[in-house]
Amino acid sequence: MTFTLTSTAFADGGEIPRLYTCEGDDISPPLAWSNAPAGTESLVLIVDDPDAPDPAAPQRTWVHWVLYNLPPDSTGLPAAVAADARPSGTEDGLNDWEHTGYGGPCPPIGRHRYFHKLYALDTRLDGLSNPAKADVEAAMAGHVLAEAVLLGTYRKGG
pLDDT tens digit sequence for 66-116: 999 999 999 999 999 999 999 999 999 999 999 999 999 999 999 999 999
Average pLDDT over residues 37-45: 98
Q: Residue 28 belongs to what domain range?
A: 4-154
pLDDT at 117 exceeding the cut of 70? yes
The structural domain count of the chain equals 1
Q: Cα-atom radius of gyration of the chain, to the nearest Å?
A: 15
Bridge partner residues of 121 (DSSP)? 42, 144
Of 64, 39, 38, the C-alpha closest to 50 is 64
CATH number for the domain spanning 43: value is 3.90.280.10
pLDDT of residue 157: 85
Decide if pLDDT at 158 tops 80: no
pLDDT > 70 fraction of the chain, expressed in percent and rounded: 99
**pLDDT per residue as tens digits for the range 125-156:** 999 999 999 999 999 999 999 999 999 999 99
